[in-house]
Amino acid sequence: MIALSVLFSCNLNQQKANKHEGEIKNNKCFVYPSVIDSLGIKNLYDSARWFVYTLHCDEKYLPKSDTTKFMTFGELPLSFKYANIKHDTLEIIFEFMDNKKAILSSMTRNYKETSTGVGFDIKKKKNLYDF
């Protein structure tokens, strides 16, 4: 009887774990662009994304198209643009989006330039610069 209850409880825990893993895989926050996944640089992608968000999260976004809109760059979606490898340097570039359009400095009332790219040393996996 005890052995059956132990087996049953272990099976329930395993089913819960499998269900939780499936939920994570279906969550779009955990879906990486195919190039990032294939290069095995998810940690650098996450680091670059976090760096760009934290660099601009409190800055005001003032679009020319809608002068009543008031929000910060931290409230805007950040979309992956591309990754580029030059010699031993990896660059990961993002774009802030407004209504599914990339935000350019000419689209803002204050011509705000944002750093949306990060360069990494591939071998050392260290942040070298932002642009």
pLDDT value of position 19: 47
pLDDT value of position 67: 84
**What burial class does residue 87 get, using C-beta atoms within 10 Å of its C-beta: 0-12 exposed, 13-18 middle, 19+ buried?**
exposed
Give the Cα separation of 6 and 12 in Å (integer): 10
pLDDT value of position 11: 43
Give the Cα separation of 70 and 84 in Å (integer): 33
pLDDT value of position 1: 54
Provide block-wise average pLDDT over 10 residues at a time, the chain (131 residues).
47 45 55 95 97 95 89 95 96 96 92 94 95 93
Domain ranges of the chain: 1-31, 33-130
pLDDT value of position 2: 56
